[in-house]
Amino acid sequence: MALPWLLALKVIPWGDVIEHAPKVLNAARKLMDRQKTPLPPVPRADPLDLGQAPPSLGELKNRLVEARQLIDQQSVVQEQMAQTLTELAEQNARLVSAVELLRVRTRLLLWVAVALAAGVIWAMLR
């Protein structure tokens, strides 16, 4: 059952992943910084139908309160998503560096095993 996972891990171009991990992390940090600076408000056209009777002041206030609540909710969700993206990018960078360390250790272990096997064979032949 572990064989498909090992094959999948061998197919992944780890060199490319390692190469692009810092770029992803920097982009996520820039996104977080951009979210912290408020954007200037965009003027919107009046969505009210002028053909009908004008809405009352209370109705306009209710619409304004609903719009503000919706904007606040969307802002909170956007901030949370940006934080999540940053955390995921940082985790990805840590994961990639850990995988690279494991690859180096595996190569070192392989060379030690080859040297040990050669030493054992040499000792047996003497």
The string of pLDDT tens digits covering residues 102-117 is 889 999 999 999 999 9
Give the span between the Cα atoms of 24 and 85, in whole angstroms: 10
Give the chain's mean pLDDT: 81
Answer yes or no: is pLDDT of 45 > 70. no
Considering only residues 71 and 25, tell me which one the structure prediction assigns the higher pLDDT: 71
Could you give the CA distance from residue 33 to residue 27 in angstroms, rounded to a whole number? Answer: 10
- Rounded to a whole number, what is the distance in angstroms from the first to the last CA of the chain? 43
pLDDT at residue number 100: 86
Domain ranges of the chain: 11-33+92-126
Considering only residues 57 and 20, tell me which one the structure prediction assigns the higher pLDDT.
57
Q: CB count, 10 Å around CB of 57?
A: 8
Spatial separation of the C-alpha atoms in residues 70 and 75, rounded to whole Å: 8
